[in-house]
Structure 1
Amino acid sequence: MNTSQKQEISLNKRTIFITGASRGIGREIALRCAREGANIVIAAKSDAPHPKLPGTIYTVAEEVAEAGGRALAIKLDVRDAEQVQKAMQQAAEHFGGIDVLVNNAGAISLTPVEHTPVKKYDLMNQINARAVFVCSQAALPFLKKSEAGGHILNLSPPLNLAEKWLKPYAAYTLSKYGMTILTLGMAAEFKRYGIAVNSLWPKTTISTAALTQVGDNTLDARSRTPAVMADAAREIFVTANQALTGQTLIDEDLLRERGFEDFLQYAVDPEQADNQFPDLFLD
């Protein structure tokens, strides 16, 4: 599918519901869209300061307001379907609807089946694949009413069944591929409602707290900042008339198609820009 678009949808006053938005990529997407006047729902468990990780739903709400958007902070555990239903209703009542859902909340453990506790397996599948199902289903009645056409964005990878992605951490891979399978299924199912559904994945590792799970402490310098994912997400949200749906997108590839050329701006360490580390599931 050609990902170029003939017209853009304005993000001004559109309501974007983002799970796991208190830090990392979710926070960056929130701030990027806020700069264009969007209403942002910051939905995450982090309502109190963490001793090691910066950011809460309330600090991000302040940043969203400073960036030019309107914010609603909601404490949310995406594993709790009843909480999710109430959060969607609260967001829709507060802002008059929901236009975009970003399923960003995630859990990761790069461990083989033999050494993955059942509790960890359950956690990853509940926060990754199951939450996409629960949140998308709960948001659907509101996305149907979006005047500009609703969007669902899942932060999950292309499906790659090479053994090297299955053998070392099958439980995590299953949970992320489950998100992508839901992307493909919902894109077809929700097409009749004018709702676009896509997955987005980074070409390189991204400098977030989850990076410590992927490699050693030198990996950060070879990564990009979350801004590259935020810019790519923005390009998806402004695409009109379902011109982009049912796709497993890579951030850099999409941005290049949209005319972006300066990727040095996203490098954590510009001197390592030619030595950046490919993200999981990409050959």
Structure 2
Amino acid sequence: MVSDRPVAIVVGASRGIGRQIAISLSDAGYAVVVSSKSDTLPTADAPFPPDPNSSASTIHTVNREIRERGGIVLAVPVDTRDPTSIKSLFEASGNQFGRLDVLVYNAGAIWWSSIANTPFKRFKLMQEVNVEGLYAAIQESLPWFEKGNWKGRVIVVSPPIYSRFFRGKTAYAMGKVGMSILTKGLAMDWKREDKVNMAITSIWPASAIESAATQKTAHDNLESRKDLRTAHIFADAILAMLRAKPDVVNGLLDTDEDFLRRQCGMTDFSKYSLVEGSQPRRIMPAEFPTLEVAEQDDEGRRMDSMKIKASKL
């Protein structure tokens, strides 16, 4: 049976930003698949709802939150380091809903330190979760988008590309910028293939957002909390991206605030401040460098390894 609602898979939906994205998508009329490695079932006496930025928040509690709001939801655990697990996620979603309209990849591993202080094991984990997990999820999504006549969206949580982002967290930046490169490259593929109803977009917070990561340093520090926004701004920006025309957002690398300001005409962001009346500090540059060159459309002689391989068979 094919769902009469559009279907969104949110990878990394157990807490914080991912949880809010899932809830906001449900409120907007999507059937939502909430997925994450966090698969612990809450105990019978656990308080509900849990702190949304704590380990007590899992895909199961998010599932319950959405159901109690009247939404349609499926919770599926996934290990984004394992392509087989990602394949199972898409199979479970397809078996339940029979379609896919939106993929949001919010899963991420983080370690901010110098190269000397980043063990290879930690580096490898970040590449597996951030880059390889995204790539595997994209590949599993493509047959479903094809089944839907190539009408769909992909949202990737990765940043605009600029040099300062590499400072002090090079190993992490290598993966996150790699995700943004995938956004640019897949957008070019879809444009070349005339898939005019497909779009892939990357989004990043302009100011820090309350999450499990920021809560560790700001929980009991009012001044630090004044620099935080709620996750609602991120979810609202994603919903606005999904409503935008595909050609406007395909291949776009943007921040939540900048997109809402430019595309939605928003000028007052005070409702998103974690501490009422505060003005969170912007952590991203006011302007980003363009990645295009004068020879942007000159591909020269394109090589396709698949065609070369086929010709040798």
Aligned CA distance change for structure 1 residues 146 and 213 (closer, same or farther; 3 Å):
farther
**Do residues 246 (structure 1) and 251 (structure 2) align?**
yes
Separation of aligned partners in 1, 2:62 and 2:245: 28
Shift of 1:154: 0.5
Work out the percentage of aligned pairs sharing the same amino acid: 32
Aligned pairs for 1:12-27 within 5 A: 13-27=5-19
- The answer to whether the aligner puts 1:196 opposite 2:196 as a matched pair is no
Q: Is the Cα contact below 8 Å between 1:37 and 1:68 reproduced in 2?
A: no
Q: Specify the alignment match of 1:93 in structure 2.
A: 95
Query: 1:183: which partner in 2?
Result: 183
Q: Could you tell me which residue of structure 2 aligns to residue 8 of structure 1?
A: none
Report the alpha carbon displacement of residue 240 of structure 1 after superposing the two structures with TM.
3.6
Which residue in the other structure is 2:270 paired with? Answer: 264
Looking at structure 2, the residues matched to 282 and 54 of structure 1 have their Cα atoms a distance apart, in angstroms, of 36
Query: Shift of the alpha carbon at 1:212?
Result: 5.2
Distance 1:261 1:40 in 2: 30
| Corresponding position of 1:33 | 25
Q: 1:282 and 1:49 mapped to 2: Cα distance?
A: 43
1:277 aligns with 2:285: no
TM-fit CA distance, 1:66: 2.5
- Residue 148 (structure 1) shift: 7.8
Say which is worse superposed, 18-27 or 166-175, in terms of deviation.
Answer: 166-175
In structure 1, C-alpha distance between the alignment counterparts of 2:176 and 2:66, rounded to whole Å:
28
CA, structure 1 residues 184+80, in 2 after alignment: closer, same or farther (shift >3 Å)? Answer: same
In structure 1, the residue matched to 2:308 is none
Alignment of 1:161-180 (within 5 A): 161-162=163-164, 165-180=165-180
Judge conservation of contact 1:15–1:97 (CA < 8 Å) in 2: yes
* Residues 139 and 148 of structure 1, relative CA distance in 2, 3 Å threshold: closer
Structure-2-length-normalised TM-score: 0.79
Contact 1:144-1:150 at 8 Å conserved across structures: no
Two-structure CA RMSD over aligned residues (Å): 2.4
Question: Do the aligned partners of 1:108 and 1:213 also contact (CA within 8 Å) in 2?
Answer: no
Larger radius of gyration: 2
1:53 correspondence with 2:58: no
Kindly provide the amino acid, as one letter, of the partner of residue 227 in structure 1: H
SS of equivalent residue, structure 1 residue 115:
coil
The structure showing larger relative contact order (alpha-carbon pairs under 8 Å, at least 6 residues apart) is 1
- Residue of structure 1 equivalent to 2:214: 211
SS of the residue corresponding to residue 235 of structure 1 reads helix
What is the distance in 2 between the residues matched to 1:215 and 1:182? 33
Mapped partners of 2:147, 2:217: distance in 1:
40
Deviation at residue 242 of structure 1 after TM alignment: 3.8
Alignment partners' CA distance in 1, 2:156 and 2:173: 15
Residue identity opposite 2:200 in structure 1: V
**Change in CA separation of 1:37 and 1:166 when aligned onto 2, cut-off 3 Å:** closer
Please give the TM-score of this superposition, normalised by the length of structure 1: 0.87
| AA in 2 matched with 1:110 | W
- Give the drift of 1:158: 0.4
Cα offsets for 1:120-176 (capped at 9, x unmatched): 1011111112211111111111122335821111011100024xx324111011111
Alpha carbons of structure 1 residues 178 and 148: separation in structure 2 relative to 1, 3 Å: closer
Cα distance in 2, alignment partners of residues 208 and 20 from structure 1: 13
How much does 1:281 deviate? Answer: 7.0
Structure-2 change in CA distance of 1:109 and 1:203 (3 Å):
same
Q: Give 1:58 deviation, angstroms.
A: 1.0
- 1:22 is paired with a residue of what secondary structure? coil
CA deviation after TM superposition for structure 1 residue 48, in Å: 0.9
Tell me if structure 2 keeps the 8 A contact 1:183–1:198: yes
Unpaired stretches in structure 2, ≥5 consecutive residues? 47-53, 288-313
Q: Detail structure 1 runs of 4+ shifted over 4 Å in the superposition.
A: 49-52, 212-218, 280-283
Change (3 A) 1:183 1:241: closer
C-alpha separation between the residues in 2 aligned to 1:259 and 1:96? 36
Contact 1:157 1:281 in 2 (8 A): no
